Structure 1
Amino acid sequence: MQPAPYAVRVETARGRLHPEPEAATRSPWQRDRDRVIHSAAFRKLQYKTQVFVNHEGDFFRTRLTHSLEVAQIARSIARALDLNEDLTEALALAHDLGHTPFGHAGEEALRGAMLGRGGFDHNTQSIRIVALLERRYAAFDGLNLTWESLEGLAKHNGPVRDPSPYLVEYDRGHPLDLASHASAEAQVASMSDDIAYHGHDLDDGLRAGLLDIADLAAVPVVGAALDEARACCAARPGASRLRHETIRRVIDRLASDLTEESRRRLAALAPRDADAIRRHDRPVIGFSAVMAEQNAAIRSFLHARLYRHWRVNRMTVKARQVTATLFSILSENPGLLPDGWRENAVIEGGEAAHRVVADYIAGMTDRFAIEEHRRLTDPAIPG
């Protein structure tokens, strides 16, 4: 089936910074997707945390499983709206490449360490990875993704105020209006991120015992899903079955509302091409007013009852300390960095060497960061 006129299309694609021959059997965004999946940064997501640190259990979500869940939701919505499924999937899979170990705790520590040194943001780090840090090809650094994929990563959370220097470089041949909205495909990937987060954080919180199933009764959307799940599971009771039946209904309600409201907005706007989506004064992909309010209530519930739970807070504090200590030791002693990283830090020197250290730490998995911290702080452990 042909995508809608307002979808990102091959015939209007803006290409890559480094020109390459097109593939005979794959669209440009299938190639982007495949390059993301085969990247080292994507594989590392298997051992990067969501809420729970990697060693806390084998069944909790990681950045990798989260990215797969986002891609599944995003592709289904893109198909329902006649958008470019391949671009949507590529963006969903790539959106978390720049995350540090220990989730937002690690990012907060690196942001503090890089204050006054260029800062740190996981969205910008994703662009650094695909534009510079992945080195797999003889002709260029990075993955040489399409303009549309880079735009989607840059505008993951809306129009960009502080553009990455790599996008400025790309602008030389492909102007990018950083003040405009992203494509509809990028907006779908972003909203699918929220849906997946809420679904699996509720699931993991219940599984970990930090939330009780009774806590969900008063939460909008979730409470109604729980009532239906209880009726559905009456003949086959069990905590695990009830949890899964509840969560799948929550995800379905959120995704269905997003699809229907977005279809309504698109019909009202009647955009003739993808640029009309970008120029519009507000996003075209979003929840209805009622669901947006209910979705915010779910987020507030998770912040109050899960993300600020004392057990999560303890691990958050430890994760920040580990990350901050790694940065302090390695930035003061760049000679301790491994081969490749050490030479780059010496060549760059000064403030630029701090960016090398930040790149090194951001690329760590949870367990590697813990092990590296031990190697650098415990005299009893060989370096």
Structure 2
Amino acid sequence: MAAPPAPFASEPGRSRGRLYDEPPSRTRSAFRRDCDRVIHSTAFRRLKHKTQVFVYHEGDHFRTRLTHTLEVAQIARAMARQLGLDEDLTEALALAHDLGHPPFGHAGERALDLCLGPYGGFDHNAQTLRIVTLLEHRYPDFDGLNLTWETLEGIVKHNGPLIDAAGNAVGRYQCRGVPVGIADFNRTCDLELWSFASLEAQVAAVADDIAYDAHDIDDGLRAGLFAVDDLKEMPLTAGMIADIARRHPMLDDGRRGAELVRELISCLIMAVLSEAGRRIAGARPRSVDDVRRHSASLIAFPPEAAEAEAGIKAFLRQRMYRHPRVMRVMDEAETIVRDLFIRYRDDPAALPAEWLPEQGVNGAFDAEKARTVGNFIAGMTDRFAINEHKRLFDSTPELR
């Protein structure tokens, strides 16, 4: 059963609005409209052919960015429903959270960040913001999707504040500063980078972790990178495997793995809901602004589950992400991204006509040209990047 709307939930009727004024929808709330705009965007469709871990042609049953995103949305909505939060805003943030990822997963992001290092680097959250505020061209009166302030805030701050009260970058941005795309937009539309985001955004962020852990285990099992019994080295999954064996002693490995994934998702969701209830009861927020001003996230794993979740990530990092088979393919994928960037840098005329720099192909390769090239590559699917490399180079890695 769904909980009644909570006083600290985001309310579409009290949204801070959009950058460009629009008449309200006659049939949808402001947040439902945001959700629908993300679903109908070009960037969302491209997620179908963007890598999660395995390159798109390695098998029909492995996750892509699109299937991962849909699974995050399902988990996020389930938690939002139990907490009395706005499900549409939660879903919009879950569906949008990976729009800015380039081809080839984290390998593509590493390569693009290195190429764009002299020009501010590459950050997928900043790229998501750039997509929904600038790069989507679907409406006659504005670039981007003209999403509500609350959705933009959640896209940028779902993992927590980016700066402290003094304006200094914190967390993952402490060393390099707030990404240029976010800093530039924030001068136009203040997203209050010093504060926490809504509980809807915090739920979407935790749902991403849960989906990653469970579904990468599923994909790793399917790929034969490890076996169900290898997961016994972690206490949480060892207990689940033993319980499955007691209930279903004759189950084959495929069904054992699927049952384990279901059990893990349910366990982590219940742990987060329990911890959220405890933290919310302690903080006693009476509005979404109370949530933003609180000193810590209110949606999180409890300590024991956080330790177990970190153990799962460490297992996957060693047994899956750093598996020689995966590393070889990802190294080759990084080469493709670097080659494309260098080619477009040295020969801007190789870009499609609609992506040619406005100032022309001559002159110095400056930050504006670099960002144009970065935007073009970041929008590529795995398949398009491979085909573009084949068009421009005599030899292209097979990524198999």
Tell me the TM-score normalized by structure 2.
0.91
Q: CA deviation at 1:176?
A: 2.6
Equivalences for residues 174-323 of structure 1 within 5 A:
175-234=190-249, 237-323=251-337
Q: CA deviation at 1:168?
A: 5.2
**Structure 2 CA distance, aligned partners of 1:125 and 1:73?**
24
Q: Pick closer, same or farther for the CA change 1:88–1:219 going to 2, 3 Å.
A: same
Q: CA deviation at 1:213?
A: 1.3
**1:221–1:253 contact (8 Å) kept in structure 2:** no
Q: Which residue of 2 aligns with 1:373?
A: 389
**Structure 1 CA distance, aligned partners of 2:94 and 2:352?**
31
**1:220–1:298 contact (8 Å) kept in structure 2:** no
Corresponding position: 1:133 with 2:110: no
**Structure 2 CA distance, aligned partners of 1:284 and 1:69?**
22
Q: CA deviation at 1:351?
A: 2.5
**2:357–2:372 contact (8 Å) kept in structure 1:** no
Q: Pick closer, same or farther for the CA change 1:169–1:300 going to 2, 3 Å.
A: closer
Deviations, residues 190-233 of structure 1 (Å, cap 9, x unaligned): 00000000001000001000011111112132222222222333
**2:12–2:31 contact (8 Å) kept in structure 1:** no
For the aligned residue pairs, the C-alpha RMSD in angstroms reads 1.8
**Structure 2 CA distance, aligned partners of 1:240 and 1:193?**
24
| Secondary structure of 1:287 counterpart | coil
Equivalences for residues 319-338 of structure 1 within 5 A:
319-338=333-352
| Secondary structure of 1:346 counterpart | coil
Query: Any gaps of 5 or more consecutive residues in structure 2?
Result: 163-168, 170-177
| Secondary structure of 1:221 counterpart | helix
**Structure 2 CA distance, aligned partners of 1:4 and 1:134?**
34
Q: Which residue of 2 aligns with 1:352?
A: 368
Equivalent in 92, 96, 99 of residue 97 of structure 1: 99
- Deviation beyond 2 Å, 4+ runs, structure 1: 163-172, 228-235, 343-351
Give, as a single letter, the amino acid of the residue that structure 2 aligns with 1:228: D
Deviations, residues 290-347 of structure 1 (Å, cap 9, x unaligned): 1111111111111111111111110111011111001000111010101200254728
| Secondary structure of 1:8 counterpart | coil
**Structure 2 CA distance, aligned partners of 1:350 and 1:163?**
17
Give, as a single letter, the amino acid of the residue that structure 2 aligns with 1:367: R
Q: CA deviation at 1:164?
A: 5.2
**Structure 1 CA distance, aligned partners of 2:335 and 2:184?**
34
**Structure 2 CA distance, aligned partners of 1:165 and 1:329?**
24
Q: CA deviation at 1:163?
A: 5.8
Q: Pick closer, same or farther for the CA change 1:6–1:167 going to 2, 3 Å.
A: farther
Percentage of identical aligned residues:
51
Q: CA deviation at 1:2?
A: 4.8
Q: CA deviation at 1:367?
A: 1.1
Of the structure 1 ranges 163-172 and 208-217, higher mean CA displacement relative to structure 2 is found in 163-172
Q: Pick closer, same or farther for the CA change 1:165–1:375 going to 2, 3 Å.
A: closer
Q: Pick closer, same or farther for the CA change 1:205–1:372 going to 2, 3 Å.
A: same
Q: Which residue of 2 aligns with 1:36?
A: 38
Equivalent in 109, 114, 121 of residue 116 of structure 2: 114
**Structure 2 CA distance, aligned partners of 1:210 and 1:132?**
40
Q: Which residue of 1 aligns with 2:146?
A: 144
**1:203–1:243 contact (8 Å) kept in structure 2:** yes
Tell me the TM-score normalized by structure 1.
0.95
Aligned residues: 378
Q: Which residue of 2 aligns with 1:49?
A: 51
Q: Which residue of 2 aligns with 1:3?
A: 5
Q: Pick closer, same or farther for the CA change 1:52–1:165 going to 2, 3 Å.
A: closer
Query: Any gaps of 5 or more consecutive residues in structure 1?
Result: none
Q: Pick closer, same or farther for the CA change 1:198–1:41 going to 2, 3 Å.
A: same
**1:49–1:103 contact (8 Å) kept in structure 2:** yes
